Amino acid sequence: MTLDVLEDLPRRCRGCVFWELDPVAAEQACDGGDTGFEKELWVSTALLEWGACGRVAYEGEAPAGFVLYAPPAYVPRAAAFPSAPVSADAVLLTTAHVVPEYAGTGMGRELLQSAAKDLARRGIKAIEVFGDQRGEEHACVAPADFLRSVGFKTVRPDPHYPRLRLELRTALSWRAEVDRALDQLLATAGSVIGAQSRGSYEQVRRY
């Protein structure tokens, strides 16, 4: 993982510190114009102290989406949500973003599966996330309906921001089912289809 990958994120995401700072510090950083520095500092600290904190998906050379995650101790904003706190055995998914032209292609599900695989290898039991229940456009909080559609279950309801949880055993079982189906497809359709089908997943890489 290198900080260079931050340059591949959408401009508004590179300087967004909604999750990385508490509300007061975030406002001060915005007023001072230091949000880009604060984002880099957060990524550097998480990487050095905990490990990789996200995944980026590429289509060719173009970034198509990304996810960010970290233990709740690294996410000051989490304490401000009414459905907090995050469970002690879980990592908090803070951001899940897909570039608009790739919306509806399964990229969001693919990114979450990649994150689940990474975290399971590191001994993490679950991913938790605060979802937006209101159906409003909010760049920093993922829609609750989308999260439920990819396997998250509500563990603490809230009319605005419920907390949801994905058990990693469930997530990896889903991935295994997809792989088995793909293997069956390859057996009947040949390796060319297989190369095309697997391409985008292989380009999801850690950062």
What is the C-alpha to C-alpha distance for residues 45 and 192, in angstroms, rounded to an integer? 42
Q: Global pTM?
A: 0.81
pLDDT for 191:
32
73-80: average pLDDT: 96
Domains of the chain: 3-168+200-206 (3.40.630.30)
User: Do 90 and 126 meet the contact criterion of CB atoms below 8 Å apart?
Assistant: yes
pLDDT for 103:
87
91-117: average pLDDT: 91
For the chain, what percent of residues have pLDDT higher than 90? Answer: 57
pLDDT for 200:
31
Q: Which residues contact 131 (CB under 8 A, 6 or more apart)?
A: 141, 142, 143, 144, 145, 146, 147, 148, 152, 161, 162, 163, 164
What is the C-alpha to C-alpha distance for residues 71 and 152, in angstroms, rounded to an integer? 18
Q: Which residues contact 29 (CB under 8 A, 6 or more apart)?
A: 17, 21, 35, 38
| pLDDT digit string, tens, across residues 149-206 | 989 999 999 999 999 999 998 666 655 554 554 445 444 433 332 223 333 333 465 4
Q: How high does pLDDT run on average in the chain?
A: 82
User: Do 205 and 117 meet the contact criterion of CB atoms below 8 Å apart?
Assistant: no
CB-CB neighbours of 152 under 10 Å? 26
pLDDT for 172:
62
pLDDT for 175:
56
pLDDT for 171:
62
62-75: average pLDDT: 94
74-90: average pLDDT: 96
43-53: average pLDDT: 94
65-82: average pLDDT: 96
| pLDDT digit string, tens, across residues 15-45 | 999 999 999 999 999 988 889 999 999 999 9
